[in-house]
Amino acid sequence: MTAQLIINGLVLSLTIALMSAGMTLIFGILRVVNFAHGEFYMFGAVIAFFAMNRAGMGYVEASIMAIATVGLLGWVANRLVFRRFHGKLIEGCIAAIALSIGFQQVGWMIFGPHQQILTSPLTGSVEIFGAIVTMDRLLIIGVALVVILGLAWFINSTKMGKAMRAVQQDSEAALTLGISVNRVAGLTFGIATALAALAGTLVGTVYTVYPTMGMLPLTFAFIVIIVGGMGSVMGAFIAAFIIGFQHSLTSTFWGPQFALGLSLGLAMLMLIFRPRGLMGHA
């Protein structure tokens, strides 16, 4: 039982971390809350499904194509929509909500009401400390861990990552140092939406794919960002594991609805007693 809880908690935590890290990056650079982030997650799974079932691609090729396509879509969305609202929180939120509704309608028109599932490249299961774990869940854990560690290295060690941190701290000062804020913002949006698409392609092998599949992950991402602190990627990672394991444990003993309510309650308490979150700035 304990090993199974840990595995389930890891799968949920890492999936939430991929979603919330992207949203945190976008908020840190653009000061925009991307309510459409769940739809980029959905597009990743839907594009991969069509690539596998209509174009005959394998899972890996279809996932790479979906991630690249959604990353490009995110860059375009930033250039055409979000760049106009840089630093304008209310206007940016309204634009993001409108984009979310529009993307959902596109999803319904393309995919329809049917629920599908992505065929995982790995089959079977293994026993880990007495828990039976399917290979598709191990795939989620392995890929998500590698990507999250790679993202942390990119942000902290590369020239572009340092530029992103500089823009996040003070965009006007970064501009005077010769950093192209628009270029950094576009790259940030592309990376963030590609991370959401990756989460969608991974989760699509375990749960069903449908046009509104991004709503629950988006809710979790908001909870994680509130708990971890708006704009803090490290805070998002820490909060993702707290919420993921809390939800796994609570769902096992009291049910998923109570678990989600407890997560929302934790976010409300954080807003009341520590509005900046665990690692956010005041």
Q: Where are the beta strands (DSSP E) in the chain?
A: 125-128, 131-134
- 11-34: pLDDT as tens digits: 889 999 999 988 888 888 888 888
Does a structural domain hold residue 269?
A: no
- 212-233: pLDDT as tens digits: 899 988 999 999 999 988 878 8
For residue 86, what pLDDT is reported? 78
Does a structural domain hold residue 247?
A: no
Helix spans in the chain (H): 2-30, 37-53, 59-80, 89-111, 135-157, 159-169, 171-176, 181-203, 215-228, 233-254, 256-273
Does a structural domain hold residue 221?
A: no
Does a structural domain hold residue 260?
A: no
Does a structural domain hold residue 244?
A: no
For residue 100, what pLDDT is reported? 92
Does a structural domain hold residue 234?
A: no
| Containing structural domain, residue 118 | 2-213
Does a structural domain hold residue 120?
A: yes
Full-model pTM: 0.91
Q: Based on the structure, what is the number of domains in the chain?
A: 1
For residue 281, what pLDDT is reported? 64
| Segments in the chain below pLDDT 70 | 1, 280-282
Integer Cα distance of 222 and 64 in angstroms: 26
Integer Cα distance of 107 and 93 in angstroms: 21
Does a structural domain hold residue 255?
A: no
Q: What are phi and psi of 142, to 5 degrees?
A: -65, -50
For residue 282, what pLDDT is reported? 58
Instruction: Judge whether 205 and 120 are in contact, CB under 8 Å.
Output: yes
